[in-house]
Structure 1
C-alpha cells in the first residue's frame, strides 16, 4: 500500500516552498480553506476578493496598459525572460505546490512548470518577431502594409487540472504583445496561483516594469463576473467546461469582446490493424490513465479494428492492473487522486450509464485506498467495451474511463472519431502511410489536434493548442497564437504626390 503523508506534512512542505518563493504566511492564512486531494484535508487558507476588488483590479490593469503598450516589444520580452529565469530557479518549489493542490505526481507537476518555462522561451523570441506583411498596391506610388498593436486588458480564467501552465501560455504572449492581464484561477488551486503571481511580481520589480500589469483575483464566479462583462477586458481567455463556455460566450460577444475558449475534450484514438501494438499500448495507457484522467486531452474513446480489439483490450486491462495508484508524493505512484468527491460521483454515474446502454466493464472503476485516505478519492482506471452508438460516449467525464468500440472500415472509424460534439485531440496508430494521410486530411479527423502514432495528450509548446466545435475554437501557445492578443491594422502609405483612388474610382 502507498505511504500516505499526513495533511500536516503536506501543509508544511507547501509552506516551505512558498517561503522560498517569497510568499508571506499572511497570504495563506485567510478564511477560505484550501484542501489537498491527496488526503482531503485543509493545508492553508486564503482571502477572497469581492466584486469591488475585481473591478478595481481591472481598473489598475487598464491604467497600466496605457504605459505598457508604449514599451518596445523586445523590452517587454526582457520582463518575460526574467520571469522564466525565476521559474527555472523555483521549478521544484512550484511543482511541490501543484502536486499538493492538483494531486499530480511529481514528474507531471514538474512537467507542467516546464511548460511555463518553454512558453516563456517561445514568447521571448516572439517579442522580436511580431511580424506584419507588406503588400503591393494597385496604385502607383503607394504601399500597403499591416501592423500589429497591443490589444488591452486580457482576462484569464483557468481550470484546476493545469493550475499554472495555461496561465503562462496566455500571460507570456500577452505581455510581449503589450497587454496587461487579470487572472482568475480555479478555486481549488489558489496557492499555485499565489506562488506563480509572486514570481511574476518579483520579475516586474527587478526589471522596472509597471507593477499593475498583472492582477490576481481569488474570487468565485459571481464576484469575478466583471472579467467577462467589463468592456475594459478586450480578450477573455477561458479554460473550463462546455457549460461554462455556453454561459460566458454570449456575454462577451454582446459587448464585442474577444473570446479564446478551451472547453471540453472527449478525445479518441483509432488503432488500425497495421498498428504497432506495443507502441499503441504505451500511448493509450498514459493518455487514458495519466493525471487520473483529468486532462482536457485525456484519451476517453478507443476505436479499435475488429481484428486486434480483443488482444489489445486484454493487454490494456493487464497494464492497468500494474499501475501504482496512491499518494502522488509516494515514490513509484503513477495515478494520483481525483480532485474531489464531485469528480468521483461523476465517474460512478458515467459507469452506471455505460452499463445501462449496453456496455461491459472490463476492469476498474472502483474506489481504492478508502481506508488510508477516507476524505480523498482514488479510483482504479476503468476500461468499458461499448456498442458503437452510445450516448454516454458523447459526454466528457473528467475521470479515468476508457470506452472501447470496434470498427471494420477506416471511414467508419473516422466517423466515430468525429461524431461527438467536442473536437480537441485525436490520434491514429497505424503503420500504413495512406491510412495516416487519410486521418490527417480534410475529410479525416475534425479535431484541432490530430496525431499519428502518439497518444492524444502531451502537446508541445511550438504548435498551436486548441480544438473545434464545442471545444470552443481557441488557439493558445505556439504557431501564430500571439495574434489573438493583438489588434491588426492595415496601412496605406501614399508617397506619389497624387491622389488616385482604388478600383479606378474617379471623384473630384
Structure 2
C-alpha cells in the first residue's frame, strides 16, 4: 500500500498524451487524457489492503473519485485503510470527499455495479463473480476492469536449477495457504527429472511451518473459512476419483494452533492428465503435478486451461526461456523465468487473459484504464482545410 502510493505520486507527473502529425497544413493533432469520474472498486478478501490501494491510488492520481466495496470478510482492515486515507488527506489539506467506503453484503455491491454514475467498476474476485459483473456493467455502457481467477502453472525443464526451483515452487504453491490469485496450482515437469523433483517437494512439504501467520517463520496460515477447507477437501477427493495420487498432505484439518480456525496441510497430487478438477481454480494449497516429454507438449498443457493470469518456467536453456515468453509460449498476462508465479512488483501491470478478465492494474500504462482519451485537432492557420477541397465561398 505504501509503495503504490509512492508510485502514484510519481505517476501524477507522467500522464502523457501524444502529439500526432497532421496531414492538413497549419493543423496539429493531440491526444489528451481526462478523469473518468467515479470509479467503483470491488475487492476480495485475500489482499484487502493491496488490491484496494493499487486501484485507489492510481484512480486518485488520475483525478477520479473512488467508492470502495470491500469483501464482507475483511471489514476491519477496510475501515483502517479508509481512516488512514482520510487522515492523510486532512494532514496535507487535500479534499476528503474523494473516497467513500461501502461496507455490506452482495446487495451493496450490486447497486454499485448497476449505478450509471459509476464510470468504471474495477472488480477482483472469482471468474464466477466476473461473469456477473462484466455483462451488468456493459449493459449500461459502463467500463469494467476485471481481475479474476488464476490457474497458474510452472514448467520445470531438464536444465533447471532444482535448488532454485524447489524454493520457488514451495513458496508459490503453499505460501499464504494457496489463497493468492497468483498461487502456483499446476506443476508441469519434464519426465526425466519428475521423480527427483517430486521427492524433494514432498520432503519440503512434510516440514512446512503451519500456524499463526503472526509468528515469524510461519509459511502457511489458515484458510479464510471452514467452507474453503471443505472446498479443498472436495477437490482432493475429486482428483483422487479421477486417477490422481496424493503424495503428501491430504487436507487434514489441524486443530492444535486454533481449534476454530481452518488450518490445513498443503497437498501435492500427481495426475496423468488435466481433468476437470485440475482445470478449475481451487482457492487452497493444492498442487497438481503433470509430466511432459517435449517443450511443445509442456506449452500445450500449460495453456490448456480457461484462466490466464500468471506463469513461469524454470530453465537454464535460453532458447526455452525466450520461447516461453514469446507469442508461441505462455498465454498469460504474467510470464516469469526462474521465479515462481506468485507475487508482483507494482511497476509492472498486473492482470491476465482469458477467464482472468483481461484487465491490467498498477504499473506500466495501466493508468489509462482510469481515464478517457480525447483526440484534439488544433487549427493554427487562417484557412479551413475541408475534405475533397469543398469550398463554401
1:274 matched to 2:159: yes
Aligned to 1:286: 171
1:404 matched to 2:295: no
Q: How does 1:403-442 map to 2 (within 5 A)?
A: 403-442=288-327
In the superposition, the TM-score normalised over structure 1's length comes to: 0.76
Once the 2 structures are TM-superposed, how far is the Cα of residue 365 of structure 1 from its aligned partner? 2.0
Q: How does 1:291-440 map to 2 (within 5 A)?
A: 291-440=176-325
Displacement over 6 Å in runs of 4+: none
SS of aligned partner of 1:248: helix
Once the 2 structures are TM-superposed, how far is the Cα of residue 232 of structure 1 from its aligned partner? 0.6
Aligned to 1:119: 4
Aligned to 1:130: 15
Partners of 1:452 and 1:329 lie apart in 2 by 31
Once the 2 structures are TM-superposed, how far is the Cα of residue 372 of structure 1 from its aligned partner? 4.4
Q: For structure 1, which runs of at least 5 residues remain unmatched after alignment?
A: 1-115
Q: Deviations over 1:301-347 (max 9, x none)?
A: 00000000000000000001111111122332221000001110110
1:489 matched to 2:365: no
Conserved in 2, the CA contact under 8 Å of 1:367 and 1:377?
no
Aligned to 1:179: 64
The structure whose residues are more often helix, as a share, is 1
Q: Deviations over 1:272-325 (max 9, x none)?
A: 001001000000000000000000000000000000000000000000111111
Q: How does 1:444-459 map to 2 (within 5 A)?
A: 444-459=329-344
Once the 2 structures are TM-superposed, how far is the Cα of residue 369 of structure 1 from its aligned partner? 2.7
SS of aligned partner of 2:29: strand
Conserved in 1, the CA contact under 8 Å of 2:5 and 2:57?
yes
Which of the residues 74, 91, 95 maps onto 1:206?
91
Partners of 1:422 and 1:336 lie apart in 2 by 26
Aligned to 2:47: 162
SS of aligned partner of 1:234: strand
Q: How does 1:468-479 map to 2 (within 5 A)?
A: 468-479=353-364
SS of aligned partner of 1:259: strand
Partners of 2:358 and 2:128 lie apart in 1 by 15
Q: For structure 2, which runs of at least 5 residues remain unmatched after alignment?
A: none
Partners of 1:365 and 1:215 lie apart in 2 by 43
SS of aligned partner of 1:332: coil
Partners of 2:93 and 2:257 lie apart in 1 by 50
SS of aligned partner of 2:342: coil
Q: Deviations over 1:399-426 (max 9, x none)?
A: 0000000000011100111010000000
1:245 matched to 2:130: yes
Partners of 1:443 and 1:195 lie apart in 2 by 45
Partners of 1:170 and 1:330 lie apart in 2 by 30
Aligned to 2:100: 215
Conserved in 1, the CA contact under 8 Å of 2:41 and 2:55?
yes
Once the 2 structures are TM-superposed, how far is the Cα of residue 371 of structure 1 from its aligned partner? 4.5
Which of the residues 19, 26, 29 maps onto 1:141?
26
1:506 matched to 2:390: yes
Partners of 1:322 and 1:160 lie apart in 2 by 28
Higher mean C-alpha deviation, range 310-319 or range 199-208: 199-208
Partners of 1:505 and 1:302 lie apart in 2 by 64
Once the 2 structures are TM-superposed, how far is the Cα of residue 223 of structure 1 from its aligned partner? 2.6
Aligned to 1:233: 118
